Structure 1
């Protein structure tokens, strides 16, 4: 009778071990699948975000090294023929200061016209600028 119980315990242990190994293998497969899905999701999100950011947003540095503060600043695509609204919106850019300008107009162009109105009454316009290539613009 003791032998019989011993054999049954051995059989039960083998069954338990097989069950444990099967669960462990399934767990590893699921983890690998989850990791691959996560990697794929991250890759897609990064591609979409990078594509959207490069296609829609343009950032450049605007510097005022003139003797008068800028009281209005307009940026329009070179093909529009009209000035967009004032980006300063009641603010000013004092002489000797600079500011990052973000153009989030959804356009895939880098060619823009710019216009600055100064406190002393001077207006400066510049046309067909490749702001992607320039990265900054200085009024002197």
Structure 2
């Protein structure tokens, strides 16, 4: 077999293997950006397979206007679809459903 053919075959195998990566290997890190005039005091991200909001991801921290935080949503379930819930210091609550954390890198609250 010629070197060029071997190289093309190896390259095709590498490309095919990266395209067939399982959902468990996908990057689930998302940067949450607060582009509002209010502070996010609690933030929840729950996968579509659960019926509860789980724990406040921010814990004792808050996300002030203009700030951002990077969150890893890999909870070991393999899910890519999550619901987000942000609670603001004025008691406003914003819920966003079906966010694909495997496909986005940032999510901005406006």
When normalised by structure 2's length, the TM-score is 0.73
Partner of 1:112 in structure 2?
A: 82
| Paired residue secondary structure (1:63) | strand
State whether residues 38 and 64 of structure 2, in contact with CA within 8 Å, keep that contact through their aligned partners in structure 1: yes
1:54 to 20, 25, 29: 25
Number of residues paired by the alignment?
A: 90
**Which sections of structure 1, spanning at least 5 residues, go unmatched?**
1-49
Please, what is the CA RMSD of the aligned residues?
A: 2.0
Relative to total residues, which structure has the larger strand share, 1 or 2?
Answer: 2
Counterpart check, 1:87 vs 2:57: yes
1:14-25 equivalences in 2 (<5 Å): none
State whether residues 73 and 101 of structure 2, in contact with CA within 8 Å, keep that contact through their aligned partners in structure 1: no
Partner of 2:93 in structure 1?
A: 123
Measured in 2, the distance between the counterparts of 1:95 and 1:109 equals 29
**Which sections of structure 2, spanning at least 5 residues, go unmatched?**
1-20
When normalised by structure 1's length, the TM-score is 0.59
Question: 1:26-64 CA deviation, whole Å, 9 max, x = no partner?
Answer: xxxxxxxxxxxxxxxxxxxxxxxx97x726x62111000
Partner of 2:15 in structure 1?
A: none
Deviating beyond 6 angstroms after TM superposition, the runs of 4 or more aligned structure 1 residues are: none
| Paired residue secondary structure (2:25) | helix
Say which structure, 1 or 2, has more relative contact order (CA 8 Å, 6+ apart): 2
Higher CA-based Rg? 1
Relative to total residues, which structure has the larger helix share, 1 or 2?
Answer: 1
Per the TM alignment, residue 79 of structure 1 is displaced from its structure 2 partner at its CA by 2.5
